[in-house]
Structure 1
């Protein structure tokens, strides 16, 4: 599917994977609407080359407004939605501090899983109204973000792993549900990528994480995630699958 002269919605676009994806799409000739929390834009800045929207992925009204903005240009129909918004917390089911906080668990699942589904459903609704781009009836692509934690969840990642496992699990049924509308659904499961979250750790810890990656033995780059999004758009026969972007990493228990 060609992306030039189309529109895309990218969530979590103020930083990290979302910012890299928004930049790559803009360079590819795509009109990008980026959705993030207002304080996310305050920290990361509002790029001049994308349309910045304030909003929470768990709020239906916020997401619908961003989708409507992305779909509002007749000359650039909405063909792509990329779900990069997410949060991570640490907590064991049971530790010396007590039992895992239920509200914390619910918040992680709400943002990472329910927020992803909220964007998926509303973006699909808008894409389904567009004219198909080929004889097969293709209308668009939705790319979700899981994590290797969906498969190799570590100690303290119970909430994060559950939320990202849900994203991976809904990939195939979503692709099957949307097949009749000509909309593909793919998920990327990143390993240890050099995102703003990594800026909070020591250089020694960064090096130790990089050393766990078989090859290449380094942290992944947000730009590599963005390049994979562009590749998924170009490969029309990829559908209903989760792709690990992790250098063959398999996470240890801790």
Structure 2
């Protein structure tokens, strides 16, 4: 039986989860740079990716401080192996097409905005400050992704089909956002973060409103892929993503601009 987590270890794991979510999604979104369907979307997606990477720097920077081993945000981003990542499985799935990319963004943004709203009241002032700063960016991310989902879902027959297919594919990854474990229990006990399960009701109301306007049907299934946020299991896609993201630092250790 594994030894129970100390408060500091639990906080470190929580910060990794927040930072890894934005890091991996930021990298995924950045893959559209130079490849988006129109220039305006290319710029918008690049800006979203930059916001997410900036948020990562704050979350992983604080994680390095909490860990107390002298590691920077860059060290945690580029020198960990796949089994040490704690991101949601949702953010590591491939872009596939523009519809899936924006549907994934919306499903994440909806959760992210609610989570940050609670974290702004965190008992840890450092976390509350990061949440307050990043929530301004995420409010815009959510507005944009929701508007795009509605525009495509309630657009042409073809765009509607693309968005429904994307929702059907991504829906089994949504439930992981609301699973709880000993790390979450420690965060709740310390007043640092909410119980993930407590966010589900607000999330369901938000996405139902948007997806109804988009004329999309929410799948009738409560099955959830799990394992990403605990590190127990990732998809095969994360290893390939990290190969692209980390190769320069691995090939030239300690390289800096």
TM-score in terms of structure 2 length: 0.29
TM-score in terms of structure 1 length: 0.30
Q: Which has the higher strand share?
A: 1
Q: Which has the higher helix share?
A: 2
Higher relative contact order (CA 8 A, sep 6+): 2
